[in-house]
Structure 1
Amino acid sequence: MTELRRGPVVPQVASLLRERLRHGGFSPGDRLPNEVQLAAEFGVGRSSVREAVRLLVQDGLLDVRHGSGTFVAAADPDTGDVRQLVRRARVLEVYEVRRALEVEAARLAARRVRPEDVEALRAGLRERQDRRDGDPAVFVDADLAFHRAVVELSGNALLLSLFTAAEPVLREILTEMVRHEKHLPDSSVAHADLLDALERGDAEAAVAATVANLEPVLCGVRSAVS
């Protein structure tokens, strides 16, 4: 049975299914295991599998044929660009939410951070930088851990809940970007600026650093969608 992380289940199951489609030897037209089998494999309820499949259907990766099962979608050159556009639009929505919640979290964290918190953030930032040229999934985990720590320091339980809900989707999106996009902007300076602003208790500088970190990727996704 696959062990899932803590947090929302459906995005994690959807991510696992995408990996299965990429690396599991499936071809267009192949039938997937049924809901009962997938639920047992992932250790989740059938409703979670059903919702995850629905997300992949929206992305054009799967076809559900009622009475027959779920099949890998055929590669159709006439609709490939449209499917990619839909995927990017969903990435855009997630990133817009991320920007909004992390900007406010940074503002609040700058007002509430303590010296011992700064030291923990500094260690987290070093971990992120050390992982930058390694395995994309490990790097993304370190990056999100740093950002999660900032959100936690905001002291706002609702912001933290929103971040927790978005985290599995962000992890999937960012890992895919780091692995496949050749010209992603280097946000190391923006991360260092954010840490410096938090250490000084400068809320506006913390907001500016957060925007500098997230806005380049957001602009790139917006351009791809438009």
Structure 2
Amino acid sequence: MPFQRRRQVDALADPPEHVTAMRPALQGRRAASAGNDEVFVDADVAFHAAVVAAARNPVPADLSTEFVPVLRTGPVELLAPTCLRVAEPDTADEAREALVRAVEDGYPEAAAAVLTAEPEDPFGGR
């Protein structure tokens, strides 16, 4: 696991109050799944921002803030031609739930497994 990701996961092992922001962000993402791709991607980016903030590392937090327009544009452009959300409007919810649950329960290794699996297969085998 890359060093930076390892540090983020280690920070999640001691959940401070801002870790609790991950659950409402996930709930917002779920609610946004009823909306269009832009609304859904905005909620997904907000979820990821909550995860980054929970890791208590200012470098990724600052970088993610700077890259929000890029982080938003790529997925929005990808979703329409793949029709990914047609069959599963809340795509990848299981992985996000697993991440939040691992952090809430204090299992950094489980959180690390979720974080490292998703980039390898962001569409869950579809």
TM-score (norm 1): 0.46
- Displacement after TM superposition at 1:118 (Å): 4.3
Deviation per CA, 1:93-118: give whole Å up to 9, x if none.
xxxxxxx698446404422322x434
Out of 188, 199, 206, the residue aligned to residue 104 of structure 2 is 199
2:14 to 99, 108, 112: 112
Higher helix share: 2
Alignment-mate amino acid for residue 47 of structure 2: F
- Unpaired runs of at least 5, structure 2: none
Aligned counterpart for 1:155 among listed residues 56, 78, 81: 56
1:210, distance to aligned residue in structure 2 (A): 1.6
**Distance in 2, Cα, partners of 1:106 & 1:189:** 21
CA contact (8 A) 1:106 1:150 kept: no
> Quick check: which has more Rg, 1 or 2?
1
Quick one: distance in 1 between partners of 2:57 and 2:19? 18
Superposed, 1:51-62 pairs within 5 Å as none
- Where structure 1 has 5 or more consecutive residues not aligned to the other structure, the ranges are 1-99, 221-226
Normalising by the residue count of structure 2, what TM-score does the alignment of the two structures yield?
0.78
Equivalent position of 1:129 in the other structure? 30
4+ aligned runs moved over 4 Å, structure 1:
none
In structure 1, give the amino acid aligned to 2:96: H
Aligned residues: 120
| Cα shift readout 1:159-211 (whole Å, capped 9, x = no counterpart) | 21222232211100011112221247831110000001101221111111122
